[in-house]
Structure 1
């Protein structure tokens, strides 16, 4: 029996359409020949979650997200298709977790301990875990702050470690090295000097020790000598002070006697002070001497005669 070409084309077209449907469902993750269990989970937000995202238990994929539906109250209902037959307790939590740093999400089943298992069409408890980026964000901010501080520190260090500063540091280290060398040389000289004069130093220290011992042994005698010296000094000072006072009193008494004699007219000076007639004579003699000096200045020729040519005396006409 000969098959017509139209039949062949129809069969081929039907096979191609079936193959296309099977391939499309396969790419979407739909099971074509096996049974699936449909479960639901409600979320307040589903950032990063999309259709065909995996449903995992301990990292093992048991299904996929088939559909996301926005509810009037703003919640999102995720339709989960589970391949095969798995015993999932009713109190299992369908947690939305991040799977990578790029924000990809998956639904991870945290199996509960209920003995009753979820059936087709049941709604599981849902929970949204913070994404990896949300968890890393505080650490990222701290890292950025640390990097900023490190950048400022490195900038400061770079500005400090300029060529001139490096030269100055090199010079400073060179000076310090030379100073340490000089100190080392001086230390060696001092060590050599101490080594060569150690015997003399030992003798000096021994003599000092002996002197100290003598002072210690003769402390009482030294104290007695100092006490005697203080006593002698005090007596001498007291004696000299008494003699000085006596001399002063005697001088004052003599002066008082002299004044009394002057007042009584004793002696030449006393008579001169107390004789009225002698005072009048002295006054008269002083006056006559004054008149004589005036006349001498007025008429010098009366008292002095001389000739330039050595001639004889001439009488006044």
Structure 2
């Protein structure tokens, strides 16, 4: 059956319309995925991407500026994420920007948020890496809450044990709570401490009054406190006393040693004290020396009157008188 011109026209119209719709849809999809605009690449490193996938959006200050183009596992704790960002946003993203992973709403897909830096930094280059911040995921929070609940349960059990012990009067605190005699003793101790504090304050006031009554210019205390020369003299005097005490100690030790030797029968002094024969010999020797001295004086007097030596002694007397 031959087609009419109207049918051919209608068919051509639908073909052109469908082609146009396909082109427009492709442009919109490509524009959304940055296929038809200039882009540059920025990378970052995370410890956990929390379900991030290829094609997820990249936002800068809440504005969609690109998509996730690559997720590579470098090692067991490092995941590198490569982002394709529109060229027009290049001048806004600095090297001190920080990348984080979040969610698009409460149950939406994961996205990469780029937070601007606070300092005046340089613009990030294509292919360069920016810092990242890994937020705590829901699983980590649940695990932390579980550990916290377990610790709270253990702490509550311990508190119950402590409370029960206090009720039973166990331990020092339990005795303080239940023993009235100990409470009275503590009260008396507190009263005594207060009394001691009052007495100490009174003593301090008296001491202050004594110090204020001291004449710092005329009294000995004032001289000792203000005169640096006197302080030096006192210091030297004390040092000399220490030196003298050391010397006296050494002398006493030597004297004790001498006395001990005398007690043991050693030395000349012990012989003089105990040996009567030696003492008699010394006495006779001293008597002979005195007699010899008297005879020597007599002989010298005789020489003065001898005619041979008389002139010598007279000359000596004249010279001594001249000197006087």
| TM superposition score category, shorter chain reference | 0.3 to 0.5
User: TM-score scaled by structure 1?
Assistant: 0.35
Over alpha carbons, which structure has the higher Rg?
Answer: 1
